[in-house]
Chains A and B, each alone.
Chain A
Amino acid sequence: MPDDANPPFDLAGCLDRVRRKDQLAARDLVGHLYPLVIRIVRAHLPRRVAEEDLAQEVFMKMFSRLAQYQGAVPFPHWVSRIAVTTCIDHLRAQKRRPEFRWADLSENEADVLDAVMTNENDVPANDAMASRELVHKLLDQLKPDDQLVVRLLDLEQKTIAEIAVLTGWNQSLIKVRAFRARRKLQKLFQELKRRERS
């Protein structure tokens, strides 16, 4: 049942008003889409880039390309794609990837990594934050496009078809990237196992 105090957002009407250069509508549109954009930005945030700056860039691209939006896909999907491609552009711009070393991990992160490599138990719930940091650091070792695919597949648990919609890449390319990325991760784990924690 719709909430009378909080009526559903009229996206189509708002877009019409934005096209007629209504500033208030533009502001409402940004406010409405911000949670969607910021979630994507936070999930794929490159190092040393402020999330608000990246979100602003996404919205600027959205406004500058608004005339190209034909309504073939729902507007939030269209904006999601802009957000994902903006993040990947920033990831590609970061040419150097830091080396993954045991010494650079926090005590907690090193404990979690040590545990998952030496036993087959699940990671305790109170180590979730450390696990997330570790996953991000491991993903940083991959090429930007591979990083994005693995993040969407393994962290956000999206399907290949969903990733294809989100990125505009064809499904075969996504599978190739996922295969390549997982092979690289496997090598990384073997390397970490070989070096062990000092």
Chain B
Amino acid sequence: MNHDITNPRHPWARLTQAARQAPVDGDTAAPFGFATRVAALARDLRGASLLDRFALRAVGIASILAILSVAVNYPAVSAGIFGISGVALEDIDLLSPDDAVSIVLDLGD
């Protein structure tokens, strides 16, 4: 066997030469409806990309507004958070005296 693959007598060269003689298969005309479908998909794609662009901008603006609103209302928000966390949980009367569970617990005592 010839060991230089670029040599025209090498098996690879003879195989590719024969392969080039094989008839080109199939029709090269677009199948019925293909062009219409692709054109319609492309139109939808253009519409979607425009929507995507606006949606991304909307997300950006919404994020900025959210950060701004937290910054502006920070004192009120922090007071609210620390107001609750400053109270011990045991001190909060979670069960009112009229509650059925508290009545049963009282009976147990």
- Chain A bound to chain B: yes
Is B18's CB under 8 angstroms from A122's CB? yes
Is A193's CB under 8 angstroms from B1's CB? yes
Is B15's CB under 8 angstroms from A116's CB? yes
**Chain B interface: which of A35-43, A87-95, A161-169?**
A35-43
Is B49's CB under 8 angstroms from A129's CB? no
The tally of CB-CB contacts under 8 A between chains A and B is 124
Is B30's CB under 8 angstroms from A155's CB? no
**A residues adjacent to B (C-beta < 8 A):** 21, 23, 26-28, 30-31, 34-35, 38-39, 42, 52, 55-56, 59-60, 63-64, 112-113, 116-117, 120, 122-125, 127-129, 131-132, 134-135, 138, 154-155, 157, 182-183, 185-186, 189-190, 193
**B residues adjacent to A (C-beta < 8 A):** 1-3, 5-6, 9, 11-26, 28-31, 34-43, 45-46, 49
Q: List 27 A-B contacts (CB under 8 A).
A: A23-B40, A23-B43, A26-B43, A27-B36, A30-B34, A30-B38, A31-B35, A35-B28, A38-B26, A39-B24, A39-B28, A42-B26, A52-B31, A56-B38, A59-B38, A63-B45, A112-B15, A120-B9, A123-B17, A125-B21, A128-B23, A131-B19, A135-B19, A154-B16, A157-B20, A185-B5, A186-B3
